Amino acid sequence: MPELPEVETFARYFARHALRQRIARVRVLDARVLGEARKERLVRELRGKEFTQVRRHGKNLYAHAGSIWLRLHFGMTGDLAYYRDGDDPRFARVIFDFENGSHLAFEDMRLFGVVDLARNPEAHGLGPDPLDPKFRLADFRCLLEKRRGAIKSLLMSQDIIAGIGNLYADETLFQTSIHPKRAVSDLSATEVRAIFQTMRRILREVIRRHERNREVPANYLLLHREEGAQCPRCGGTIARTVVFGRTTYYCRDHQA
DNA sequence: TTCCATGTTCCGCA
DNA sequence: TTGCGGAACATGGA
């Protein structure tokens, strides 16, 4: 689930449910998800405080409480659950109990996620967020300029651009008819613009769909990630390969 | 039983 | 210096 659009959806969910309630207790059920901040510090910094503000940068969610920011990274299988009654979720790793009796659980089956504290929400070491209004085509061109290697690798490099993962990198290249292994240096100015615009359109569209609880459009590659499947755009054949260490799907017939 | 999985990091090699 | 392949991490589902 968690690439940029999913984390944005988590951020809105967090903001909708968990702001301005006093944190009565912080329960760390599995300390393996903790980052730098140990359990004692996490509890000390957050107990008795309220979350007042939520932000997102790339795949990181930040929630302000007291004088610190809680940072959540959802790894491969992270999720949030806000609930009032009933049992804690099966894969809950950290749970915030609020004074009004409700709970917010950070769930993560595979434990690749991170719960940590940060002085500020300026994610260090990360590139710009593609949906940041200050991030323009000229900035994107600048990022590509001194780079070599495959375009898909670049899109997935969080230190270059933060938020695109395996699925949305594939989707962006699928919709711009560009082969994932094409060298960055080989792309035309028109193709670079197409990638920039298409990537942002896809991210916004998926966020919008998540909000309305709807599936992504049927002609997205996302729903056809299977070797030998029929391409929903040109009727060609979906192929599978590996780029940047990740399983990559693309249309053998219309991506060049 | 075997393979695969939306992420990140670290190591070795070119 | 840059980039890439591979492995590791942990666990469940097909």
Q: Which nucleotides on chain B have any atom < 7 A from a protein Cβ?
A: 4-9
Strand C lies under 7 A from the Cβ of residue A153: yes
Strand C lies under 7 A from the Cβ of residue A243: yes
Q: Measure, in angstroms, how far nucleotide B8 C1' is from residue A95 CA.
A: 24
Active site residue A59: yes
In whole angstroms, give the CA distance from residue A172 to residue A201: 9
Q: How do the pLDDT tens digits run along chain A, 256 residues long?
A: 699 999 999 999 999 999 999 999 999 999 999 999 999 999 999 999 999 999 999 999 999 999 999 999 999 999 999 999 889 999 999 999 999 999 999 999 999 999 999 999 987 889 999 999 999 999 999 999 989 899 999 999 999 999 999 999 999 999 999 999 999 999 999 999 999 999 999 999 999 999 999 999 999 999 999 999 999 999 999 999 999 999 999 999 999 9
Side-chain-facing half-sphere of A250: CA atoms under 13 Å: 25
Q: What are the backbone dihedrals phi and psi of residue A7, each rounded to the nearest 5 degrees, phi first?
A: -65, -35
